[in-house]
Amino acid sequence: MKKKFKTKIIAEAGVNHNGSIKLAKKLIDVAKKAKCDYVKFQAFKAEELVTLKARKTSYQKINQKDNKLQFKMLKKLEFTEEDFIELKKHCKKKKIKFLY
């Protein structure tokens, strides 16, 4: 007898929260409303991704409307461990699984 597998749907929130916990929670709510099984955020430290002097790429300059460095842009998108704990609690409350 073959096992039946259910496809799992993962909502990729990534850094679309723009550094805002409030917006991140809204992304979780929308993922749940869309019947996703998981919602995934990106965890990183800007210091480990880019140098302090790395320039933004062309598309980042267009989307961000400035010429600041990548480090400053990424630093604004970081969440702390406490932030992720808060988001995980929100996921549990909304009954959607949390990934990062």
Coil/strand/helix, residue 11: strand
- C-alpha 28/C-alpha 97 separation (Å) is 10
Query: Per this entry, what is the length of the chain?
Result: 100
Residue bearing tokens 């604004």: 76
CA distances 20 to 1, 27, 59, 70, Å, are: 48, 11, 22, 18
Question: d(Cα 43, Cα 63) in Å, to the nearest integer?
Answer: 21
pLDDT in tens, 66-97: 667 888 889 999 999 999 999 999 999 999 99
Instruction: Decide: residue 94, CB within 10 A, 0-12 exposed, 13-18 middle, 19+ buried.
Output: middle
Residue 12: helix, strand or coil by DSSP? strand
What confidence tens digit (pLDDT) does each residue in 15-63 have?
A: 999 999 999 999 999 999 999 999 999 999 999 988 888 777 666 666 6
